[in-house]
A and B are shown apart, each in its own frame.
Chain A
Amino acid sequence: MLPPNVLSVRALTVALPRGADRRNAVESVSFDVGRGEIVCIVGESGSGKSVIAHTVMGLLPPALKATGGQIILESEELLGASGKRLRELRGSRMSMIFQEPMTALNPVVNIGRQIAEVLSVHTDMQPRDRQARVLEVMEAVNLPDPERLVETYPHQLSGGQRQRVMIAAALALEPSLLIADEPTTALDVTTQAQILQLIKDLRKRLGMGVLFITHDFGVVAEIADRVAVMQRGRIVELGTTREVLRKPSHPYTKMLIASVPSLRPRSPRTASSGRPVLSLREVSKTYNSTSLFGRREPVIALQGVTVEVRRGEVFGVVGESGSGKSTLARCVVRLIDPTGGSIRFGGREIASAFGESLRQERRRVQIVFQDPYRSLNPRRTVGESIIECPVNFAVSEDEAWARARELIRIVGLDQKALQRYPHEFSGGQRQRICIARALSVQPELLIADEAVSALDVSVQAQVLRLLDDIRKRFDLAILFITHDLRVAAQVCDRVAVMHQGRIVEEGPTADVFNTPREPYTRQLIESAPGREWEFGAELATASQ
């Protein structure tokens, strides 16, 4: 008679080393994962959800120690278990899949051998039987053409395929428990939909329990049977998905759910009648590889992109990775040179400009990047980073500092922040600093290149409100690049969908989302996880 619960965690506490911002990474955490059940642990970064996953598998680094509680895997206590016993259990009774499939797979070993490794470690199967099992498991995860794929290396596969390989390796011995630590965060939305469906099917077919760690409520809505919400190391709410998402009881859960943007586009603002700030016509970018030994295929990153952005408007560009949206942003800001087409700022052509005339045009458009941890020079104070741009354009230092003080206040930080270094700030705060820096030279166009993608959902909501605020205050045009359809639905007035370097569909957000014309747009919208769930925020304000 199999125990009903695959995993039981009771009052688990994991201590952090001295000097951290709290005593325990995880405190008094208790939950169960039943057979054939998917339990999601959801929380923001630093909440301790990954620590739980690593503790169950026995993969904690020496600095973190489990100081209390029990972890019971099918009637066996894991916390006191010997290293040898844990090794026996990993892969055979419990497995884990990680966030970054590229780094989780060995780049110099072909995938067939990597999947077979689990089998050779835990069983005495003959090579022929192992090979057969490898092919069997690759088919089970819907990898195309397993016979051929067995010989390939990780870098030859797409992100989604690599994640399937990881899942195949994890399930080769049909463990009772699968731990998934943000497995779809690094994947495109359409690929994510496929992987989530795969996990649901496998769970049903193999009857295993799944512990799914994520920060995305959409994913929770899509696959979870039960949900645990974590805040700063504690579980603040635990219940079925329906209960927690429909009627959350803890204020933190309520706040989180309210911060998730709704997929339903907000009511459109009064159409901005501002003059066009940015005008792109037939912009293209092709990468030609000039190699000594024969030419390889040229890569067409952008093709025939035609777009117009007006003052006071937020123009969204959505697409998956490889669609060309980042290339577009970089061409507009001239970090990359376009191969063809015209880019005009308020009438002046910059696609072919170079040298000093190009440099002068740079003050009219500024960009905020995705990674707040690498967007600021770690050796310069915040103030120095902000005044760099105006000083480049012959603004006096006094004037530049005055602007810096004003802007740092507008973005919601204290004046003292100007004397501090970037490492003293959180991700959300750093992104605010980057926005202040971008505004220091009073540009007409602000490009946000996945500017909120790396932020927690509550912080993301705050930064989006800030962007809206400054848009109104400075009558700014914003080109908003994102892969997150929810954010696009709430923030953008008009939206363009990009696919393989082309704009596939374009129009007012409400039209594109509610009545998509192109099949790709429809596929994109249908892949968004948790589509039926409204969640909270209508982030834009009602007024103009």
Chain B
Amino acid sequence: MRAESNIMAAEIVGVDVLEGDKRRHGFWHLALRSPPIVLGGLMLLIVLFVAIAAPLAFTTDPLALNTSARLRPISAEAWFGTDMFGRDMYSRIIYGCRTSLFVGTSVAVLAVCIGLLIGLLAGYLRVLDAVVMRVMDGLMAIPGILLAIAMVALSGASFTTVIFAITVPEIPRVVRLVRSIVLTVREEPYVESAIAAGTRLPGILWRHVLPNTIAPLIVMASYLCSSAILVESLLSFLGAGLPAEIPSWGNMIAEGRTYFQIYPRMVFLPGLFLALTVLGINILGDGMRDVLDPRISRTM
């Protein structure tokens, strides 16, 4: 709010109100003072740490069956109890972090890379634009979940299939974002100067257009990540996701469904972790969007 009214003030006064604050408006300076970024970042770091350090976090083998210890309640040996196959719930939930983050990050990175390439070309080359955008429109018309289910039915459940199935419906969103940025940047005088200076197309895209897409793409990537984690859980819940042995929060919720009335913790505990992770990523994404807004942070 303060930054916004400073901009207004600057526009009225014609004075560069941020002039003296140049150093203090770099990305990191703003980021570390933004509550959403700090909070979301912290939550995400915790999840990340847990995922990486899973074997060290007092876990046992999440796949180990122990039919003599089925459906045990919370105790000193099994912090979250055991499930219907005797597997330690705590370990499964912790290893579930890995699954979710892996799927989320892969989808985000893949969708952004593919979408960026297509969007740059579609936005800059008018010839491609019409064709590409119609293909994207078609893709957006297909419900993502159904597409995912169909793909899994065709190729069987595995990490690759699931990641691919979640990425494809997200690509049009990235393409639209990149394309709209390219369309505006294309008209900027500095791009015209570069053209007049004889810079060829790849140079224009790499030097002048691409850097303008980075900030919005970082924000979009965070939303893609959280969305992918949720979709993966949903797919697993429907049985069209990862194979049942792989500890995934969605799988656990699916399995716990039958025992929900007697042992609600089997659904609530994975659900809670899922919700907190997605929440953390979303809060981080919101904070990043505010900080990366070019009007407020001049140096980005």
Contact = CB atoms under 8 A, between A and B. Distances in A.
Interface of A: 16-22, 25, 45-48, 50-51, 54, 60-64, 333-335, 359-360, 362-363, 365-367, 369-371, 374-380, 385, 388-389, 392-393, 421, 423-424, 434, 437, 441
Interface stretch (B1-9, B28-36, B72-80, B243-251): B1-9
Given A17-B17, A375-B193, 6 more contacts: A19-B17, A19-B20, A61-B5, A61-B9, A334-B196, A379-B211
Nearest to B16: A21
Given A423-B298, A424-B22, A21 B194 contact: no
Nearest to B24: A19
Contacts of B14: 45-47, 50
Contacts of A378: 298
Contacts of A388: 194, 197, 199, 207
Given A17-B6, A61-B5, A46 B199 contact: no
Interface in B156-203: 188-190, 192-200, 203
Given A62-B5, A371-B189, A377-B190, A362 B196 contact: yes
B20 A20 contact: yes
Interface of B: 2, 5-6, 8-9, 12-22, 24, 188-190, 192-200, 203, 207-208, 211-212, 298-299
B15 A374 contact: no
A370 B193 CA distance: 12
A21 B12 contact: no
A367 B196 contact: yes
Contacts of B13: 16, 25, 46, 48, 50-51, 64
Nearest to A49: B14
Contact of B196 (A17, A22, A333): A333
Contacts of B198: 359-360, 362-363, 389, 392-393, 441
Contact of A20 (B17, B192, B195, B199): B17
A356 to B, nearest CB: 9
A63 B18 contact: no
Interface of chain A, helix or strand or loop or mixed? loop
B211 A61 contact: no
- Scoring B18, B188, B212 by chain A CB atoms within 10 A of each residue's CB, the highest score goes to B188
A362 B197 contact: yes
Given A51-B13, A388-B197, A423-B299, A19 B192 contact: no
A62 B207 CA distance: 38
Nearest to B8: A61
Contact of A359 (B5, B188, B194, B200): B200
B111 to A, nearest CB: 24
Given A363-B198, A374-B190, A380 B207 contact: yes
Nearest to A359: B198
A63 B2 contact: yes
Contacts of B19: 19-21
Nearest to A50: B12
B233 to A, nearest CB: 38
B9 A63 contact: yes
A64 B12 contact: yes
A61 B190 contact: no
B207 A369 contact: no
B48 to A, nearest CB: 29
B17 A375 contact: no
Contacts of B17: 16-17, 19-20, 63
Contacts of B194: 377, 388
A25 B188 CA distance: 31
A500 B15 CA distance: 37
A377 B207 contact: yes
B131 to A, nearest CB: 17
A367 B5 contact: no
Nearest to B212: A379
Nearest to B199: A392
Contacts of A333: 196
A236 B81 CA distance: 81
Contacts of A61: 5, 8-9, 12
A441 B189 contact: no
A63 B197 contact: no
B15 A54 contact: no
Contacts of A393: 198
A434 B193 CA distance: 9
B6 A63 contact: yes
A366 B5 contact: no
22 contacts: A19-B18, A20-B15, A20-B16, A21-B19, A45-B14, A47-B14, A60-B9, A61-B9, A63-B2, A360-B198, A365-B196, A366-B196, A367-B192, A377-B190, A377-B208, A377-B211, A379-B212, A389-B198, A392-B198, A392-B203, A393-B198, A437-B193
A252 B20 CA distance: 25
B5 A16 contact: no
Contact of A369 (B5, B192, B195, B212): B192
A378 B12 CA distance: 23
A421 B25 CA distance: 14
A47 B13 CA distance: 8
Given A19-B18, A45-B14, A50-B12, A375 B189 contact: yes
